[in-house]
A and B are shown apart, each in its own frame.
Chain A
Amino acid sequence: MSTYDQFFWLIYPYLMLTLFVVGHIYRYNTDTFGWSAKSSEFLEMSRLRWGSLLFHWGIIFVFFGHVAGILVPKGFYEAVGITEEMYHFGAVWFGGAAGVATAVGALLLLYRRSTVSRIRINSQKRDFLVLILLSVVIITGFTNTVGYTASGGAFDYRETIGPWFRGILTFTPDVELVTSAPIGFQIHIFSALFLFGIWPFTRLVHMWSLPLEYLNRNYIVYRRMQGKKLTNR
């Protein structure tokens, strides 16, 4: 195992994941005002429509796809009787469809942000950075899925990248598992980790604010001077 490998698959991941966790706490406490989705719909609606819808619905499926493919061990599927063919069918078709939607959505958003001048001028650099990085992550991820899985390639990420990432999360890292992964996968992992690192400092924090509490809140919110939140009706 070279120093190079150790940096990329051990030190760097922990660095980025630490930034991810600590950064969120830091940002929430120092910049509550900046914590938002930063909607730009008020300035431009028609292009946002397809860009945002495709991207967001796509990324939700992609997220669950990653849970299924990376976080859930291969053995689990065998135990519940899901065969290799069934898994691959799902990964290619559902994963592929979600991937296309997400990629098209992200590119549309990037196109919109660069070409609609009232949006471009009122963007921060990090708004562009997020979209560019997301596009890289999504496109490398998507080509990997299609390229390797669909063509029945020899590389099985469920026996390499999956266990490696679970190892990172459980503090039992095994760097050897990824050193021989194809470069496409390596770029995907690298850029995704970079995204995690800058995540807390961008608009992406809005993800954590998905307002599910709305579903069983009273419609009208009252607040008293004492700062206690009261709701009624």
Chain B
Amino acid sequence: MNIKAQFGMVMNLDKCIGCHTCSVTCNNTWTNRPGAEYMWWNNVETKPGIGYPKEWENQDERKGGWVLKDGELELRAGKRTNKLLNIFYNPDVTPIDDYYEPWTYDYETLIESPEKQHQPVARPKSQLTGDYMEIEWGPNWEDDLAGVHETGWRDPNMRGLEEEVKFQFEQTFMMYLPRICEHCINPPCVASCPSGAIYKRDEDGIVLVDQDACRSWRFCMTGCPYKKVYFNWRTHKAEKCTFCFPRIEVGQPTICSETCVGRLRYIGIVFYDLDKVEEAASVTDEKDLYQAHLDLFLDPHDPKVVEEARKAGYADDWIEAAQRSPIYKLAVEQKIALPLHPEYRTMPMVWYVPPLSPIMDSFGNGVDGIHPQMIFPAIDDMRIPIQYLANLFTAGDTEVIRSVLKKMVVMRSYMRSVQLGRQPDQNLLKQIDMTEETLREMYELAAIAKYSDRYVIPSSHREHADNMFLGQGTAGYDFMEGCSDCAVNPNMTDSYQFGEAYWGDIGGRTSNDL
């Protein structure tokens, strides 16, 4: 057994109100720089829709993720030799126009306009060229199904739905899907990078890009099936969600979670067995990938696992965190959280509790009074949402979706009985194969969980990163980069300055010029 800890996130989609707070705070924290302004490491899409970038799920075009070739796991975009032969021109790049051309507004005319008969207008200006432009697509063009009667047809999750059924989908349902990098257990972005600049952190599974090692070969963006590696057009380097590692390392949740208005995000760690990953990612039937992924996770209460984790160097606070992990509870114990597109074989680690609301909506108001025995047949009937959700979360397996939705219905009904002092219907519990205890835990985690229950984040043990005594009193000289990077002396400047001076210096324009 080769035990590893891995950070994961679960989002409860029923609670997402589509407010984009997460995207904005993430952008303010990480990407409000020239070259990165178009990046939304966290974005919230309205589904159905083609998303951001356009049709990111259409892997026939985008070529992301892994496929099975003769039983072997291989990158869909091609293997190593193929990459080197295409290094001068990667035919599978998703160009910036498929995200959107970033723009700002010509605010100056508002202030400096002379008195005129008509109000002055701030026209949009491209941040790539500084020219005036027409806005024809943006990062969230399809918000609340805008224009989806046109774009919705190109949503790959619509496959398996018959034409006439499809025609009604925009009346049928709508949901929000907040997305960040999945910090995959089997990350194709890492595998795609010829320089080895993208890596997975051994201690906690966070996937990062080494900015000094990135050589601009731009294969990682193709490799990621979720299109969550972005290309900074200013520095010519790949950038991606960092899982807010500086916050995580001190036990704080990511900024998107911290600021989430719906309080729908959970963060925790799970233990998994690294030796089993390849086998799990290579199961033949795509529908088995969800189960294979679940089987990777180790039971943190199992004494054998605890012992192995200690041997692997995980401290007691990490083991405790794994035992209290909301991720483990939601994914493994309650089995209501599901991975996004398991068929990409990436073993993603941001999971989702599918939304029940599209189904409940069809009953109109006063839903809570409706008896599960009425809703169950409806769940089976509602082909569109079920199939659609299955295409998102279970590689098309509708049974899993049904079982999750039924659990959510039963949980509500059970808690209702408890609150009203009635005898809960034991028969219902049997139908969903859950004990009262887990059902109650499910309720607590969903409805009344405190900050410290939603985010169980063990601090990183930086104090073990190096022998701190060795560094005592040294001036920080090392062999190649001299002491410019590590100097304590404020007179020594950092070699990379990311202020306006730096941007001006590399010949590009700064935000001031726009």
Q: Do A and B come from one complex?
A: yes
Binding site for B on A (CB under 8 A): 28-45, 48-49, 52-53, 55-57, 117-118, 121-127, 206, 209-215, 217, 219-226, 229-233
Given A33-B235, A41-B89, A124-B506, 6 other A-B contacts at CB below 8 A? A29-B482, A37-B236, A42-B218, A122-B234, A206-B215, A221-B190
Q: Are A206 and B216 in contact (CB under 8 A)?
A: yes
Q: Are B80 and A222 in contact (CB under 8 A)?
A: no
C-alpha spacing A123/B508, complex, angstroms:
7
C-alpha spacing A126/B506, complex, angstroms:
10
A29-B482, A39-B218, A230-B202 known; A214+B93 contact, CB < 8 A? no
As a 0/1 sequence over residues 210 to 254 of chain B, the CB contacts with chain A under 8 angstroms (1 = contact) are 011011111001000000000101111100000000000000000
What is the total number of residues of chain B having a CB less than 8 Å from a CB of chain A? 63
18 contacts between A and B (CB under 8 A): A29-B482, A36-B237, A39-B236, A42-B96, A43-B95, A53-B88, A56-B88, A121-B129, A124-B506, A124-B508, A127-B507, A206-B215, A219-B191, A221-B200, A222-B199, A225-B201, A225-B202, A225-B203
Residue of A nearest to B198 (CB): A221
Q: Is B476 an interface residue (CB 8 A)?
A: no
Q: Are B211 and A209 in contact (CB under 8 A)?
A: no
Residues of A within 8 A of B214 (CB): 36
Of residues 455 to 502 in B, which have CB atoms within 8 Å of A's CB atoms? Answer: 460, 462, 464-466, 480-482, 484, 495-496
Residues of A within 8 A of B460 (CB): 225
Residues of A within 8 A of B236 (CB): 36-40
C-alpha spacing A118/B103, complex, angstroms:
13
Residues of B within 8 A of A37 (CB): 215-217, 236
CB distance from A92 to the nearest CB of B (A): 26
Residue of A nearest to B126 (CB): A118
Contact of B93 among A41, A118, A230 (CB under 8 A): A41
Q: Is B81 an interface residue (CB 8 A)?
A: yes
CB distance from A154 to the nearest CB of B (A): 38
Q: Are B187 and A214 in contact (CB under 8 A)?
A: no
Residue of B nearest to A29 (CB): B480
CB distance from A64 to the nearest CB of B (A): 17
Residue of A nearest to B465 (CB): A225
Q: Is B278 an interface residue (CB 8 A)?
A: yes
Q: Are A214 and B233 in contact (CB under 8 A)?
A: no
CB distance from A71 to the nearest CB of B (A): 25
Q: Is B90 an interface residue (CB 8 A)?
A: yes
A29-B480, A56-B88, A225-B462 known; A211+B202 contact, CB < 8 A? no
Of residues 74 to 122 in B, which have CB atoms within 8 Å of A's CB atoms? Answer: 80-81, 83-84, 87-91, 93, 95-96
Q: Is B174 an interface residue (CB 8 A)?
A: no
CB distance from B384 to the nearest CB of A (A): 36
Residue of B nearest to A125 (CB): B507
C-alpha spacing A38/B234, complex, angstroms:
9
Residue of A nearest to B509 (CB): A121
Q: Is B186 an interface residue (CB 8 A)?
A: yes
CB distance from B494 to the nearest CB of A (A): 11
CB distance from B352 to the nearest CB of A (A): 24
Q: Is B128 an interface residue (CB 8 A)?
A: yes
Interface centre among A31, A212, A214, A229 (most CB of B within 10 A): A214
Residues of A within 8 A of B186 (CB): 220
Residue of A nearest to B196 (CB): A221
C-alpha spacing A97/B273, complex, angstroms:
54
Q: Are A233 and B278 in contact (CB under 8 A)?
A: yes
Residue of A nearest to B278 (CB): A233
C-alpha spacing A225/B200, complex, angstroms:
11
Q: Are A41 and B90 in contact (CB under 8 A)?
A: yes
Q: Are B128 and A121 in contact (CB under 8 A)?
A: yes
Q: Are A48 and B89 in contact (CB under 8 A)?
A: yes
Residue of A nearest to B203 (CB): A225
Residue of B nearest to A116 (CB): B129
The 4 closest A-B pairs by CB, nearest first: A124-B507, A211-B194, A219-B191, A214-B194
A53-B89, A121-B128, A226-B465 known; A221+B199 contact, CB < 8 A? yes
Q: Are A38 and B216 in contact (CB under 8 A)?
A: yes
CB distance from B498 to the nearest CB of A (A): 10
Residues of B within 8 A of A41 (CB): 89-90, 93, 95, 218
Of residues 305 to 350 in B, which have CB atoms within 8 Å of A's CB atoms? Answer: none
Residue of B nearest to A55 (CB): B88
Interface centre among A36, A44, A45 (most CB of B within 10 A): A36
Residues of B within 8 A of A34 (CB): 506
C-alpha spacing A37/B214, complex, angstroms:
9
Contact of A214 among B80, B131, B496 (CB under 8 A): B80
Q: Are B215 and A35 in contact (CB under 8 A)?
A: yes
Q: Are B212 and A32 in contact (CB under 8 A)?
A: yes
C-alpha spacing A32/B186, complex, angstroms:
28
